[in-house]
Amino acid sequence: MSSTSDALPLLQIGGPAGSAPTGGGCGDACGCAGDDGSSGIDPLTCGLDPDLAALLVAAGLDPVQVEDIAHLAVEEDLDQGVDITTVATIPADAVASGDFTAREAGTVAGLRIAEAVLSLVCTEEFAVERHVEDGDRVAAGTKLLTVTTRTRDLLTAERSALNLLCRLSGIATATRAWADVLEGTKAKVRDTRKTTPGLRALEKFAVRCGGGVNHRMSLSDAALIKDNHVVAAGGVAAAFAAVQEEFPGVPIEVEVDRLDQIPPILAQGVELILLDNFTPEQTREAVELVDGRAMLESSGRLTLDNARTYAETGVDYLAVGALTHSSPILDIGLDLREDEEDREGEEDREGEEDAGSSAVVPDSAPAPDPAPAVAHADPREGR
Catalytic residue among 112, 130, 150, 159: 159
Beta bridge partners of 297: 274, 317
Q: 143-150 and 126-130 as β-strands: parallel, antiparallel, unpaired?
A: antiparallel
CA nearest to 175, candidates 334, 26, 307, 331: 307
Catalytic residue among 68, 257, 276, 335: 276
> Does the annotation mark 194 as catalytic?
yes
> Does the annotation mark 204 as catalytic?
no
Catalytic residue among 133, 203, 255, 297: 255
* 226 C-beta neighbours (distance < 10 Å), count: 14
Residue 261 gets which letter from DSSP? Answer: G
Catalytic residue among 226, 284, 301, 308: 226
> Does the annotation mark 284 as catalytic?
no
Q: Are the C-beta atoms of 96 and 337 separated by less than 8 Å?
A: yes
Catalytic residue among 193, 194, 301, 308: 194
- In angstroms, what CA-CA distances link 267 with 151, 239, 241, 368? 65, 14, 11, 88
Which amino acid does the sequence have at 77? D
> Does the annotation mark 255 as catalytic?
yes
Q: What is the DSSP string of 8-77?
A: PPEEEE-------------SSSSS-S-TTS-----GGGSSS-HHHHHHHHHTT--HHHHHHHHHHHHHHH
Which amino acid does the sequence have at 126? F
| Active-site amino acid positions | 159, 194, 226, 255, 276
